[in-house]
């Protein structure tokens, strides 16, 4: 394999065209597949409707202690001769590239879409990863077997979903069992703190924490979970034997929080743009290496890629190593230094392709933006998503003045996203009058929804890699007073409210108003005269009868909620990944008035009030009302949103 190492080091090596490889391709196409001593296995494939290179198939077998999941992978290395031109070509190409209208395969189409592909009813050589799980989805044993498969069925995601809902279909029970265990695997991964391959606050992430389109089909989860399981099992097997392979390592930057805190933070952000910005600053790109570092997003000590040898050369190389060691009982065909060179080449090639792809899409977007801005009559017809993108990209080619009339209309209709509002506040205008044109409507919007002001400043701080700070004081009556400090500026006037979060939202709104009106000042010039306000008792409930004390319907509540509502509410919110409840108290005559607030994504989701002879009694009654509201109206809505 030294030849491969020397070729990868040669930066002037020219890509070989597939026609030159004609003789090798023809020989492989003519070679019959003899099953020999390979064991026959059962399995089926699930891929997108347009997929033609089918790498992997599945099977599942229940047992009294758990389950055995078999992932059958096309045995590409058994067909591609070692050190052949086809292998060298794959090492240079690194992976199949998927473009908008076509793909550029790593292996020639005659192979990748036929002889190597696990087509329905066609006999194929495979490597089977046989994984035994206990009832808690822990890996108990991993075997690698040399097998042959004739795929029972070629499912698309759509047809697999239809079968999942049709008991009359032949593979219905098998697919339902796969779905059950896919859910178990997902729950187990998320419980250990993984955020890769998950949906958090409505935002879907791939295995490395990059934002992707949410899955449309249930069967996509089956494939995702079983592939992660197979890759994990193989990496664990190699790591236990201290075997150098191409591990897939993923690390976090020094400023990233630990994974569970990271998930909590992403949940509170709630918006794709904020989540994307945060993750970009927290996560390093995943890379291949013979050294085991671990996978941060999946929260695993070892991970690799093994399930796509037709499409990724890293998987192909790993097949050669693992087959040699665990099936043929030979030494690895790659010395560590050669494996290191291959890993470096793959990492560099993938980064190069990514940069070219990103640059291509940037150029396409900017050309579209220029065309739209030059044809203003097309602006009203833009979808919400298109308008957001044009608004963002307009700042790279011009000012945003030409978008102001349409932005004003969409402001009035309340269809702009927080990221759009950020660009309207912080964007550059050729004519200052255009900023003035949208100012009043924008401030009206923020007054209606104060939490938007906080979201806009969160976006600004994330993009600017800085923080939003506050000057916090208390008024004479015990209310909260805030001045927002951002970009070294603040307002002279504080925001004052009895609730801390409300005061912060209002303070952020004042700051944005100051930004739009150019009245922000140095934090040393704040005006504290408003802190000397009237006692709070004069502005709150003066009569206990103002709090409605109708009999509560406790029939659907568990006994622990009735007996200890404060603890039960805390536990329920923790399960829903919501913040702890906020409690506020005022003494009204001889009683205590308690207000309980539950927040979701910085919005007040539930607010209840109660009176008690003591603080604790008022707190317990307000908590009980919040539990009833959660059970009746909220829990199902939150769980639907997260799913």
Confidence check: pLDDT of 362 > 70: yes
Same domain, 523 and 561: no
Backbone angles phi, psi at 328, to 5 degrees: -90, -10
Tokens of 301: 């000590």
| Cα angle 90-44-24, degrees, rounded to a multiple of 5 | 30
Amino acid 532: pLDDT = 75
Q: How confident is the model at residue 236 (pLDDT cuts 50, 70, 90)?
A: very high
Helix (H) and strand (E) counts in the chain: 22, 20
Which CATH number does the domain housing residue 519 bear?
Answer: 3.30.160
Residue 419 covered by a domain:
no
In a domain, 311, yes or no: yes
Do both 192 and 291 map to the same domain? yes
Angle, helices 157-164/218-240, rounded to nearest 10 degrees: 100
Same domain, 104 and 119: yes
> Do 516 and 597 sit in the same domain of this protein?
no
* Parent domain of 484: 449-539
pLDDT greater than 70 at residue 629: yes
When mean pLDDT is compared across 81-90, 383-392, 531-540, the lowest value belongs to 531-540
Check whether 141 has a pLDDT greater than 90. Answer: yes
214 plus 354 within the same structural domain: yes
Structural domain includes residue 312: yes
State the pLDDT at residue 605. 73
275 vs 272: CA distance, rounded Å: 5
Q: What percentage of the chain reaches a pLDDT higher than 70?
A: 88
Indicate whether 137 pLDDT > 90. Answer: yes
Residue 179 in this model has a pLDDT that exceeds 50:
yes
Look at 18-27, 173-182, 234-243, 441-450 and tell me which has the smallest mean pLDDT.
18-27
Q: Are residues 578 and 517 in the same domain?
A: no
User: What CATH number corresponds to the domain at position 595?
Assistant: 3.30.160.20
Decide if 373 is inside a domain.
no
Task: Name the residue among 270, 310, 349 with its Cα closest to residue 75.
Answer: 310
Q: Given a cut of 80, is residue 177 above it in pLDDT?
A: yes
Same domain, 534 and 548: no
Cα angle 291, 295, 299 (rounded to 5 degrees) comes to 140
Domain membership of residue 405 (yes or no) is: no
Whether 258 and 282 share a structural domain: yes
pLDDT confidence of residue 13? 38
Contacts of 293 (CB under 8 A, 6+ apart): 247, 249, 251
Q: What is the pLDDT of residue 3?
A: 42
Tokens for 55, please give them. 């790498």
How far is Cα 74 from Cα 304, in angstroms, rounded to an integer? 17
Average pLDDT estimate for 103-110: 89
HEC string for 95-144: ECEECCCCEECCCCHHHHHHHCCCCECCEEEEEEEEEEEECCCCEEEEEE
Q: What is the pLDDT of residues 300-358, one digit of tens each?
A: 999 999 999 999 999 999 999 999 999 999 999 999 999 999 999 999 999 998 888 88
pLDDT grade, residue 168 (50/70/90)?
very high
Task: Provide the pLDDT for residue 640.
Answer: 42
Are 83 and 1 contacting, i.e. CB atoms less than 8 angstroms apart? yes
Cα-to-chain-centroid distance, residue 273: 12
Using the Cα atoms of residue 196, residue 642, residue 136 and residue 222 in order, give the sign of their dihedral. negative
| pTM score, whole prediction | 0.69
Residue 444 reports pLDDT greater than 50 = yes
pLDDT number for residue 101: 65
Q: Tell me how far CA of residue 481 lies from CA of 459, 474, 505, in angstroms.
A: 23, 6, 11
pLDDT band for position 100 (50/70/90)?
Answer: low
Structure tokens at 471: 């000057």
Summarize the confidence of residues 163-192 as an average pLDDT: 93
Q: Is residue 224 situated within a structural domain?
A: yes
Q: Are strands 198-200 and 203-205 parallel, antiparallel or unpaired?
A: antiparallel
CA distance 257 to 7: 41
Q: Which of 539, 567, 591 is the last residue of a domain?
A: 539
571 in the same domain as 486: no
Mean pLDDT score of the chain, rounded to an integer?
85
Q: What is the pLDDT of residue 601?
A: 60
Give pLDDT, residue 639: 44
Total structural domains in the chain?
Answer: 3
| pLDDT at residue 520 is higher than 50 | yes
How many Å apart are CA 568 and CA 590, to the nearest integer? 28
Which residue's entry shows tokens 């208390």?
Answer: 474
Q: Are 70 and 58 in contact (CB under 8 A)?
A: yes
Is residue 438 in a domain? Answer: no
From CA 483, how far away is CA 523, in angstroms rounded?
8
Polymer length of the chain = 643
User: How much is the average pLDDT of 587-609?
Assistant: 78
Residue with structure tokens 């046989």? 130
In DSSP notation, 597-608 reads EEEETTEEEEEE
Q: Is residue 415 part of a domain?
A: no
- Measure the N-to-C terminal CA separation of the chain; round to a whole number of Å: 48
DSSP letter string, 218-276? HHHHHHHHHHHHHHHHHHHHHHHTT----EEEB-B-TTPPPHHHHHHHHHHH-SHHHHH
State how far the Cα of 375 lies from the Cα of 385, in Å rounded to an integer: 18
Q: Which residues make beta-bridge pairs with 597?
A: 582, 607
The pLDDT value given to residue 539: 33
Is the same domain home to 218 and 354? yes
Q: What is the DSSP string of 68-83?
A: EEEEEEE-HHHHS-TT
| Separation CA 470–CA 458 (nearest Å) | 13
- Range picked from 191-195, 200-204, 585-589 for highest mean pLDDT: 191-195
| pLDDT reported for residue 342 | 95
The span from the CA of 314 to the CA of 91, in Å, is 9
Query: Nearest 5 degrees, angle CA 131-CA 45-CA 36?
Result: 70
Q: Where does the pLDDT of residue 5 fall: very low under 50, low under 70, confident under 90, or very high at 90 and above?
A: low
Among residues 481, 513, 539, the one where a domain terminates is 539
Q: Is the dihedral of CA 215, 218, 221, 227 positive or negative?
A: negative
pLDDT, tens digit, 9 for 90 and up, residues 581-590: 888 888 777 7
478 and 581 in a single domain? The answer is no
Q: What angle do CA 378, 456, 430 make, to 5 degrees?
A: 50
Alpha carbon distances (Å) from 458 to 45, 422, 496: 44, 9, 21
Q: What is the mean pLDDT of residues 173-194?
A: 92
Query: Using 50, 70 and 90 to split pLDDT, how confident is the model at 231?
Result: very high
For 494-504, b/e burial (b = at least 16 CB within 10 A) is bbbbbbebbbb
Q: Which of 539, 565, 581 is the last residue of a domain?
A: 539
Give yes or no: residues 114 and 166 share one domain. yes
């Amino acid at each position: 394999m030294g030849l491969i190492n020397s070729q990868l080091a040669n930066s002037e090596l020219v890509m070989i065209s597939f026609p030159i490889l004609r003789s090798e391709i023809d020989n492989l196409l003519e070679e019959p597949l003899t099953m020999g001593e390979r064991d026959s296995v059962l399995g089926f494939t699930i891929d997108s409707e347009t997929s033609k290179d089918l790498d992997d198939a599945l099977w599942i077998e229940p047992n009294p202690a758990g389950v055995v999941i078999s992932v059958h992978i096309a045995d590409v290395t058994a067909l591609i001769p070692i050190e052949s031109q086809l292998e060298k070509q794959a090492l240079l190409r690194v992976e199949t590239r998927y473009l908008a209208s076509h793909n550029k395969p790593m292996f020639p189409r005659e192979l990748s879409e036929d002889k190597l592909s696990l087509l329905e009813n066609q006999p194929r050589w495979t490597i089977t990863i046989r994984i035994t799980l206990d009832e808690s989805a822990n890996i108990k044993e991993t075997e690698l077997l040399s097998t042959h498969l004739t795929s029972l069925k070629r499912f698309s995601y759509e047809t697999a979903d239809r079968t999942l809902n049709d008991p009359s279909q032949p593979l219905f029970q098998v697919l339902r069992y796969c779905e059950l265990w896919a859910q178990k695997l997902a729950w187990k991964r998320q419980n250990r703190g993984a955020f890769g391959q998950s949906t958090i606050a409505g935002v879907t992430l791939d295995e490395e924490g990059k934002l992707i389109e949410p899955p449309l089909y249930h069967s996509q989860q089956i494939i995702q979970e079983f592939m992660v399981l197979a890759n994990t099992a193989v990496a664990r097997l190699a790591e236990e034997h201290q075997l150098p392979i191409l591990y897939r390592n993923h690390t976090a930057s020094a400023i990233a929080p630990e994974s569970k805190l990271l998930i909590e933070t992403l949940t509170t952000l709630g918006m794709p743009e904020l989540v994307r910005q945060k993750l970009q600053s927290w996560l390093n790109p995943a890379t291949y290496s013979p050294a085991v570092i671990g996978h941060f997003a999946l929260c695993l000590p070892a991970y690799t890629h093994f399930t796509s040898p037709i499409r990724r050369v890293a998987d192909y190389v790993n097949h050669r190593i693992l087959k040699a060691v665990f099936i043929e009982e030979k030494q690895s065909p790659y010395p560590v230094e050669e494996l290191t060179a291959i890993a470096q080449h793959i990492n560099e090639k993938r980064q190069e392709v990514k940069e070219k792809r990103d640059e291509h899409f940037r150029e396409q977007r900017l050309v579209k933006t220029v065309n739209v801005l030059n044809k203003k009559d097309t602006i009203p017809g833009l979808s919400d998503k298109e308008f957001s993108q044009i608004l963002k990209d307009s700042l790279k080619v011009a000012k945003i003045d030409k978008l102001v009339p349409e932005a004003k209309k969409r402001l009035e209709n309340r269809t702009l996203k927080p990221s759009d509002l950020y660009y309207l506040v912080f964007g550059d205008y050729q004519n200052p009058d255009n900023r003035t044109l949208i100012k009043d409507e924008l401030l009206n919007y923020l007054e209606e929804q104060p939490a938007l002001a906080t979201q806009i400043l969160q976006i600004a701080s994330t993009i600017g890699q800085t923080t939003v700070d506050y000057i916090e004081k208390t008024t004479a009556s015990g209310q909260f007073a805030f001045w927002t400090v951002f970009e070294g500026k603040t307002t002279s006037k504080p925001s004052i409210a009895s609730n801390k979060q409300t005061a912060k939202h209002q303070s952020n709104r004042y700051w944005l108003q100051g930004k739009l009106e150019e009245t922000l000042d140095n934090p040393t010039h704040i005006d504290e005269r408003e802190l000397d306000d009237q006692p709070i008792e004069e502005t709150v409930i003066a009569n206990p009868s103002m709090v409605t004390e109708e009999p509560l319907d406790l029939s659907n509540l568990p006994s622990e909620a009735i007996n200890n509502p404060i603890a039960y509410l805390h536990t329920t919110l923790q399960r829903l990944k919501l913040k702890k409840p906020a409690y506020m108290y005022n003494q009204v005559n001889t009683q205590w008035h308690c207000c309980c607030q539950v927040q979701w994504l910085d919005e007040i989701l539930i607010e209840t009030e109660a009176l008690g002879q003591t603080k604790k009694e008022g707190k317990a009654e307000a908590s009980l009302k919040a539990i009833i509201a959660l059970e009746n109206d909220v829990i199902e809505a939150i769980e639907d949103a997260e799913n």
